[in-house]
Structure 1
Amino acid sequence: MSGDQRARHDDAGTPGEVFRAFLKLGLTSFGGPIAHLGYFRDELVQRRRWVSETSYADLVALCQFLPGPASSQVGFALGLLRAGLPGALLAWAAFTLPSALLLFAFALGADAFGGPLGQSVIHGLKLVAVAVVAHAVWGMARSLCPDRERAGIAVAAVLIVVFLPGAFAQIAAILAGALAGRWLCRDVAATDGSHLGVALSPRAGSALLAVFAALLLGLPLLLLAWPTPLLALFEIFYRAGALVFGGGHVVLPLLESRVVATGLVGADAFLAGYGAAQAIPGPLFTFSAYLGAVMSPTGGSLLGAALALGGIFLPGMLLLLGVLPFWDRLRALQPARAVMAGTNAAVVGILGAALYQPVWTSAVRGPEDFALALTAFALLAVWRLPPWLIVALTVAGAVLVDLI
């Protein structure tokens, strides 16, 4: 039985199952968006077999194209495929709310990551990310780059991302992979019969895309007619989520220009919240909950945190739901399948480039760090220990090394 067949044998679940799976991920997925994709793959593709490896890579490629938080969009789509719209909403809530609540608490005065001990913990979490991303690259390369053509596309994607600055390098790598796959992968692409099976009609998808555009264009006009602080807060974060490509780290300059430069949040408070967001599991976009809580005139307000959190995630989810009904039909065509084969190989290259920068370069500072990261990789890939235990062991090791 092939890996894709095994992955497709159990393609229906319950909202409760989705919530439990993503709550575990929301409590243990440290390391940023690229690491989250590794956690999703280990838990939901490899262990639970919710979707095939190829379908998972297709989702990753699609979410890299769209504005918004790519890892959260992938999680939302996995919940949708598993248990419909209730599963999608519960997947988002379970993965997002733990870190959002922690950052809201931090906004109220919690400062758990200051001092040497807190810095050691953060460093240990970065080393965990090295192991998780390396394992994801290794596993996806074996299944998605099995020949010279796709391996070459992956290497080219690495070079594009490494040597082209900016968030649009990832989009350029995917476009290059798609073009190369159209000509190099015509024979191999036809072997994949998997499909996403989204329970949304094209009419519903079109309506959701219209809602996305109406909010993007209409909120500034509504704000002119009804200039209230909470509406202004929601508009700031909706626009940020609608216009940012490249994930959580890339949204930070856009938010800084809207909330620090305008005096809504002080520079020190902005950077403190960003540091806290690095130290907790879950999506980096939950930094918005912290900002919404501290922004004047809603300082300490749970409503402000909720509006900011919903505002920054909503556009990406509307876009994803709008595009998915057309995506499965498109990828069923033979030329499109060749394009997707090249795109999937490019996704492997993007992950490989991310393993180097920023994951490796920001975490591995010497031989002790290399030893800890290698041990974590072995525990994950060979011993197959649960990620939460690997997180605990690696963080403990990092703290011990710093104390010595």
Structure 2
Amino acid sequence: MLLRHIPFLKAVLMYACTAFGGPQVHMAMMIRTFSQKRKDVTEEEILEYNAFCQILPGPSSSQTVFLIAYRRGGVPLALLTLLIWILPATLIMTLLSFLLLYLDSNTLQTQLFRFMQPMALGFIAYAAIKMMNKSVKHPATWGIMIGSALVTIFIKSPWVFPLIILSAGFISNFSDKRIPGQNPTSFKVNWDVLWVFVGVFLVAGFLSEWARIEHWQHRRIFNLFENFYRFGSIVFGGGQALIPMMLYQFVTRRQHLAQTPLLTQSQLMTGYGMLQAVPGPVFSICTFVGGIAMSSEGPLWQILGCVTATVGIFLPSTLMMLFLFPLYQSLKNYVIIYRSIEGINAAIVGMVWASGLILFRSPSANVEIVNIVIAGITFCILQFTKIPAPFIVMGWILLGWVTSL
């Protein structure tokens, strides 16, 4: 049955290899590829799918591609499409995790990749302003954004992120000016997928804690799956919102507990910087982090770390889509969900701003005037020119190489 979908899968592979620039660019390319050229779905359907994905945690671009395939060929085609979509980016990020470790990461960071961290701050600022222009439009949303940023900066707990999202949705429901255009209809709930989602969450947490208590030899792989499955279950706002979560979980928190961080802030920001030159989902940064975290246990475990992080981060949103999408036509017309989206989007912007501020003011950050200038130049190039992100990244890498000669 999948043979008749080979032309569609080829189009997905080409899209996965050329989709640079993040979710905003991904959406434009989706419309051009799957609507205007192939006629798989209409533009209105793509926009509707993307709107639905905005109320779910996880990678919105990946979820939208999944739903396009789900609409065309059901669950088997959707799962195969998701695999093809994430494969190029995850392979590249896996190779990058080895590159940093086995080709003298200190030299790469101080020479070839010396400008990656300040450049990444420029990308974060650009993403935050773009999102702010669309999501922060009146005093209430400004308050939610600022409050979200302050809470993220000063409260050091991974559970603060879902609490911010819930609080923002609750606050935005105080307004009675926004109502959906249709009345909700009755629907039948398929609970099986939800039980799978909850079951995996509980089992992953149990095994992670048991492995820690019993000091299993390779307990870190269980810890990683639980961490990334939890991230995938609660993260809103795309890959940018993952940065503060991973920074706290794998660096700051372990330092507070007098434990060795699973990776350094410099490695995290190098991975995030290089991600700007990689096509596909921004969530593939987790593949890189999983590989670095397991690198001390050997190459095979490092590859397993990449696979574990990738499965952990993409599995929750996939299960939630399979559970909620059949209900979408009714759920989108419930006032409480309709009104929550505005507050959630404003909170996401605050979390993205906070990620940049946390990285900039951290003790290990190298705050020099040249780095501030590099972040500013990167932002200006993104804001005022049409130079693709891969060329910006390669330009800074080339400059790092030239200045190291």
2:194 is matched with 206
1:136 is matched with 127
Q: Report deviation, 1:150.
A: 2.2
With normalisation by structure 2, the TM-score equals 0.68
2:66 is matched with 80
Q: Which amino acid aligns with 1:240?
A: N
Q: Report deviation, 1:229.
A: 7.0
2:299 is matched with 300
Q: Does 1:156 align with 2:156?
A: no
Q: Percent identity?
A: 13
| Closer, same or farther: CA 134–210 of 1 in aligned 2, 3 Å | closer
| Closer, same or farther: CA 94–178 of 1 in aligned 2, 3 Å | same
**Conserved in 2, the CA contact under 8 Å of 1:167 and 1:250?**
yes
Q: Report deviation, 1:188.
A: 3.6
Q: Does 1:110 align with 2:103?
A: yes
- Deviates further, 145-154 or 171-180: 145-154
Q: Report deviation, 1:388.
A: 0.5
1:187 is matched with 177
Q: Report deviation, 1:102.
A: 2.8
Tell me which of 13, 21, 29 is aligned to 1:19.
13
Tell me which of 22, 29, 42 is aligned to 1:40.
22
Q: Report deviation, 1:124.
A: 1.5
**Conserved in 2, the CA contact under 8 Å of 1:124 and 1:396?**
no
Q: Which amino acid aligns with 2:247?
A: H
**Conserved in 2, the CA contact under 8 Å of 1:292 and 1:305?**
yes
| Closer, same or farther: CA 369–208 of 1 in aligned 2, 3 Å | same
Q: Report deviation, 1:215.
A: 4.5
After TM superposition, list the pairs within 5 Å mapping 1:335-354 onto structure 2. 335-354=336-355
Q: Does 1:173 align with 2:187?
A: no
| Closer, same or farther: CA 337–135 of 1 in aligned 2, 3 Å | same
- Deviates further, 51-60 or 276-285: 51-60
Quote the Cα distance in structure 2 between the aligned partners of 1:159 and 1:120. Answer: 34
| Closer, same or farther: CA 350–331 of 1 in aligned 2, 3 Å | farther
1:197 is matched with none
3-state SS in 2 of match to 1:62: coil
Q: Report deviation, 1:181.
A: 0.6
Quote the Cα distance in structure 1 between the aligned partners of 2:220 and 2:374. Answer: 42
| Closer, same or farther: CA 157–291 of 1 in aligned 2, 3 Å | closer
Quote the Cα distance in structure 2 between the aligned partners of 1:279 and 1:157. Answer: 24
| Closer, same or farther: CA 114–191 of 1 in aligned 2, 3 Å | farther
Q: Report deviation, 1:392.
A: 1.9
Q: Report deviation, 1:337.
A: 0.7
| Closer, same or farther: CA 359–42 of 1 in aligned 2, 3 Å | farther
Q: Which amino acid aligns with 2:64?
A: L
Q: Does 1:330 align with 2:331?
A: yes
Quote the Cα distance in structure 1 between the aligned partners of 2:360 and 2:50. Answer: 22
Q: Report deviation, 1:219.
A: 5.5
**Conserved in 2, the CA contact under 8 Å of 1:331 and 1:337?**
yes
Q: Which amino acid aligns with 2:85?
A: A
Quote the Cα distance in structure 2 between the aligned partners of 1:55 and 1:89. Answer: 19
1:314 is matched with 311
Q: Which amino acid aligns with 1:159?
A: L
3-state SS in 2 of match to 1:114: helix
Quote the Cα distance in structure 2 between the aligned partners of 1:42 and 1:350. Answer: 18
Residue deviations 1:41-95 (CA, integer Å, cap 9, x gap): 33213565588889758746632xxxxxx5xx44532331343322222222222
Q: Which amino acid aligns with 2:385?
A: W
After TM superposition, list the pairs within 5 Å mapping 1:233-312 onto structure 2. 234-243=221-230, 247-252=245-250, 274=267, 277=271, 280-281=274-275, 282-292=284-294, 294-295=296-297, 299-301=298-300, 304-312=301-309
**Conserved in 1, the CA contact under 8 Å of 2:112 and 2:397?**
yes
| Closer, same or farther: CA 351–220 of 1 in aligned 2, 3 Å | closer
Quote the Cα distance in structure 2 between the aligned partners of 1:221 and 1:395. Answer: 41
Quote the Cα distance in structure 2 between the aligned partners of 1:373 and 1:394. Answer: 11
Tell me which of 93, 104, 123 is aligned to 2:87.
93
**Conserved in 2, the CA contact under 8 Å of 1:154 and 1:347?**
yes
Unpaired runs of 5+ residues, structure 1, are: 1-12, 29-38, 64-69, 194-200, 262-266
1:31 is matched with none
Quote the Cα distance in structure 2 between the aligned partners of 1:367 and 1:337. Answer: 44
| Closer, same or farther: CA 271–390 of 1 in aligned 2, 3 Å | closer
Quote the Cα distance in structure 1 between the aligned partners of 2:302 and 2:353. Answer: 35
Q: Report deviation, 1:268.
A: 9.7
**Conserved in 1, the CA contact under 8 Å of 2:291 and 2:306?**
yes
Quote the Cα distance in structure 1 between the aligned partners of 2:209 and 2:133. Answer: 50
Quote the Cα distance in structure 2 between the aligned partners of 1:383 and 1:139. Answer: 14
Residue deviations 1:250-272 (CA, integer Å, cap 9, x gap): 44259979xx97xxxxx699659
**Conserved in 2, the CA contact under 8 Å of 1:127 and 1:364?**
no
Q: Report deviation, 1:390.
A: 1.0
Residue deviations 1:303-355 (CA, integer Å, cap 9, x gap): x3343333333344332122223263534311211112211121122222223
* Alignment RMSD (CA, Å): 4.3
Quote the Cα distance in structure 1 between the aligned partners of 2:366 and 2:253. Answer: 29
Q: Report deviation, 1:242.
A: 3.4
With normalisation by structure 1, the TM-score equals 0.68
Residue deviations 1:214-265 (CA, integer Å, cap 9, x gap): 7537868999xxx9978x67534333333456543344259979xx97xxxx
After TM superposition, list the pairs within 5 Å mapping 1:38-77 onto structure 2. 39-45=21-27, 48-49=30-31, 59=53, 62-63=56-57, 70=58, 73-77=59-63
Q: Which amino acid aligns with 1:350?
A: M
